[in-house]
Chains A and B, each alone.
Chain A
Amino acid sequence: MSKKGFDLFDLVKKVLFTDFVKGLTVTLGYNISKSITMRYPDEEKWVPYRRFRGMHTLNRDENGRELCVACELCAKACPTGCITVIPMEDNTGRGISDRVAQVWTVNVVRCLFCGYCEDACPTRALRLGREFELACTDFSCTLKSREELLVPQPIPESIPGGYVVKSKFERTPQGIKVVPELSKYKKRSI
């Protein structure tokens, strides 16, 4: 009991269930408000912003030549040492210079997606893209090689991101995939 003694206002509040009604209005407001659940993966998918640091991607220039010059700066900048680069000489026009990577692998389970490698890259060949569905059931996806990384990612650089798009859930023998429909998007705060 309160030390002030008898409080008429308090009693009236209790008799009229004021606080109870206040609580009920709050919950009713939430009940009729829109849900914030994202129906990932089979109905909606979040398209990250450009600054998002996801799966590595190796770029080509407009003539289709590899931008990577195998300078190994990314491997040196990497705090976990997960990038392996073995350079080789090639003047057939595969890369922009006659030094290209024979091997360029990243160990994805080691990688902490800090983005130092893309900062270190002098030719902007290496970017951390917007792929974030990296899970797999065996070790096949833990080591990504140059050939895989040279394939352009499904979300192109031109899309600013930061919104929810419609998506489809596809089951293939290779595994399951979430396919976004980039044309149908809606802005939504997350």
Chain B
Amino acid sequence: MPDIATLLAVLLIVVKVGVVTMILFGLPLPLTWLERKVAGHIQVRLGPWRVGPHGLLQPFADMIKLLFKEDIVPYKADKLLFNLAPLLSMVPAFAVFVAIPFGDSVMVPFINKEVTLYISDMNVGILYILAIGGLSIYGIILGGWASNSKYALLGGLRSAAQMISYEVAMSFAAVGVVMMSNSLSLLEMVKSQSGSFLNWNIFYLPVGPVWFAIFLIAGLAEINRIPFDLTEDEGTLAAGFHTEYSGMKFAFFMLAEYVAMVTISVLSVVMFFGGWNAPLQVPVPIPPIFWFVAKAGALIYFFMWIRFTLPRYRYDQLMTIGWKILIPVALVNLLVTGFMRI
């Protein structure tokens, strides 16, 4: 018979998992709105405007539309894989957040208990994130394969090739951060960057900015966003791997994509921008979670900003950037970082 304390701890974990999952399910709603707004304003348009003030209720309208759309399974498609693929791409995107720390610990006012703002502090957190995050590619590949469509299959194949090329560079960037912070645990990583913003890994000169550039480029390629969105290249592949998907299954793919974007921004914040540490010591008490959310939000905006600035790379350019530039640069940078850490 487990005692009360154990039960409470388990309950706390369940509550935390539930809250994080709910937040992640809810996040794509404002993000789609923001993305369309940013797109509109960069193109000197207004973006969503009709549904609610400034189009704020547009995501809900979209959600209702997706819920009521017909769920089509193409003729001769592999039904099991076709239905499984959206889940395979969504679950890893959510599972990554088990290891991500959003803050140190806060006092919850009503139960008077110290609650940590992370689900688990793994001592190999970064490894776990890279491993689980890499799994979500199966959803895309299987979705492309199971659709019985040329476009979808090509999208899936491209995605696989892209993944193989950029996962290496991304892992190197993670190794670099691990060397700079002396730990694989994300919590320790953030703690090692406390103090002023000069302690952040991105300002660990001269290697920090290079690691960040490598991580950012590889991350963009990992989450299939412009300029690396060859898997859903509208110009040549209709809609890539999710050409044949409609309704809620399509929504799951979009959900996974947005959650992956949040993952990359949050990871960048944790690894390079000092997590929830304030950039400067300010006299007014600002909760650390504010800094965390503000930094992640700025990065998400940056991703959207890039999306409407850069054109899409060609497939061979993508491979050239991955294998001929990022990986050699990462290797040299690893050497320099090693010498600096002796």
Which chain A residues have a beta carbon within 8 Å of chain B's beta carbons? Answer: 17, 20, 23-24, 26-28, 30-33, 35-37, 39
Beyond the given pairs A30-B44, A35-B44, A37-B49, 7 more chain A to chain B contacts, judged by CB atoms under 8 angstroms and listed by A's residue number, are: A28-B305, A30-B41, A30-B43, A31-B42, A35-B45, A35-B46, A37-B45
Q: How far is the CA of A39 from the CA of B40 in the complex (A)?
A: 14
B44 touches A39 (CB 8 A): no
Q: How far is the CA of A41 from the CA of B150 in the complex (A)?
A: 43
A23 touches B310 (CB 8 A): yes
Interface centre among A26, A27, A32, A37 (most CB of B within 10 A): A27
Chain B residues near A30 (CB-CB < 8 A) = 41-44
Q: How far is the CA of A173 from the CA of B42 in the complex (A)?
A: 40
Asked, given contacts A23-B310, A36-B44, whether A31 binds B305 with beta carbons under 8 Å apart, the answer is yes
User: Distance in Å from the Cβ of B175 to the closest Cβ of chain A?
Assistant: 21
Q: How far is the CA of A39 from the CA of B55 in the complex (A)?
A: 13
User: Distance in Å from the Cβ of B304 to the closest Cβ of chain A?
Assistant: 10
Chain A residues near B309 (CB-CB < 8 A) = 20, 23-24, 26-27
Chain A residues near B310 (CB-CB < 8 A) = 20, 23
Q: How far is the CA of A39 from the CA of B46 in the complex (A)?
A: 9
Chain A residues near B40 (CB-CB < 8 A) = 35
Q: Does B38 have its Cβ within 8 Å of any Cβ on chain A? A: yes
Who on chain A is nearest to B45 by CB? A37
Interface centre among A20, A31, A32 (most CB of B within 10 A): A31
Chain B residues near A27 (CB-CB < 8 A) = 42, 305, 308-309
User: Distance in Å from the Cβ of A1 to the closest Cβ of chain B?
Assistant: 11
Q: How far is the CA of A17 from the CA of B46 in the complex (A)?
A: 30
Chain B residues near A17 (CB-CB < 8 A) = 213
Q: How far is the CA of A31 from the CA of B41 in the complex (A)?
A: 5
Chain B residues near A20 (CB-CB < 8 A) = 309-310
Q: Which of B21-59 contact A (CB under 8 A)?
A: 38, 40-46, 49
Chain A residues near B45 (CB-CB < 8 A) = 35-37
Who on chain A is nearest to B37 by CB? A31
